[in-house]
């Protein structure tokens, strides 16, 4: 009976060491702390106005091209 207990204890300890040892050996260090949150830049208002101005300019160019059809 003692032989079976010792054999079982050795097998159990071996399995525990084999299952835990790789995690201990391949563990990576903790990542560095993240920097503070950067300041947010609002681009919605200016970008919308720029897109509207570009669209109006494109429409103007198309109308000018239709009026001066002899140009091209």
Domain ranges of the chain: 1-25
Which of 49, 47, 45, 68 lies closest to 57, judged by CA?
49
Pick the range with the lowest mean pLDDT from 3-12, 13-22, 43-52: 43-52
Looking up tokens 């109308």, which residue turns up?
A: 63
Q: What percent of the chain has pLDDT over 90?
A: 17
Which pTM was predicted?
0.37
Whether the predicted pLDDT of 42 surpasses 80: no
35, two tokens: 């920097």
Q: What is the average pLDDT value for the chain, to the nearest integer?
A: 80
Whether the predicted pLDDT of 53 surpasses 90: yes
49/2 Cα distance (integer angstroms): 87
Whether the predicted pLDDT of 24 surpasses 90: no
Alpha helices for the chain (secondary structure H) = 2-25, 44-67
Whether the predicted pLDDT of 19 surpasses 90: no
């Amino acid at each position: 009976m003692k032989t079976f207990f010792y054999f079982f204890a050795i097998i159990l300890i071996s399995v525990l060491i084999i299952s835990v040892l790789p995690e201990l050996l391949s563990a990576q260090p903790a990542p560095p702390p993240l920097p503070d949150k950067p300041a947010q830049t609002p681009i919605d208002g200016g970008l919308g106005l720029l897109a509207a101005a570009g669209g109006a300019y494109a429409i103007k160019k198309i109308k000018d091209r239709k009026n001066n059809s002899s140009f091209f």
